[in-house]
C-alpha cells in the first residue's frame, strides 16, 4: 500500500471514533478498496493492491471489518453525506 494511502487511512482511524471497515473485492472495472466509516457516518475510501491488504489493515488497527459484498453499508454513511450536501447548499 502506498505510504500516503496508509497515512490517510491510519489518520482517519486515529482521529475518529467508532470506525468500521468494509473491504470491497476487485471487479473487472475497479481494484480492491477499503471504505472506512466513523460512528457519525463520515467516511473515506481508498484503493488497495488487494482485498487482503484491507483485511490486514483493519486487523492491525483493531477495526471491525466486513466484506462489502455481504454486509451492506451503514445507513449513517448515507445520512452523513445527505446532511453535508444540505449544509453546502445553505
Q: How far is CA 50 from CA 12, 13, 14, 31, 53, in A?
A: 20, 20, 23, 7, 5
pLDDT tens digits for range 23-38: 999 999 999 999 999 9
> Scanning the structure block, which residue is given the C-alpha cell 480492491?
32
pLDDT tens digits for range 27-79: 999 999 999 999 999 999 999 999 999 999 999 999 999 999 999 999 999 99
Amino acid at each position: 500500500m502506498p505510504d500516503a494511502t496508509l497515512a490517510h487511512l491510519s489518520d482517519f482511524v486515529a482521529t475518529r471514533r467508532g470506525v468500521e471497515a468494509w473491504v470491497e473485492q476487485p471487479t473487472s472495472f475497479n481494484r480492491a478498496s477499503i471504505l472506512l466509516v466513523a460512528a457519525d457516518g463520515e467516511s473515506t475510501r481508498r484503493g488497495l493492491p488487494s482485498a487482503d491488504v484491507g483485511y490486514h489493515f483493519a486487523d492491525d488497527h483493531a477495526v471491525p471489518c466486513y466484506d462489502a459484498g455481504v454486509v451492506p453499508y451503514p445507513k449513517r454513511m448515507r445520512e452523513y453525506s445527505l446532511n453535508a450536501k444540505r449544509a453546502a447548499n445553505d
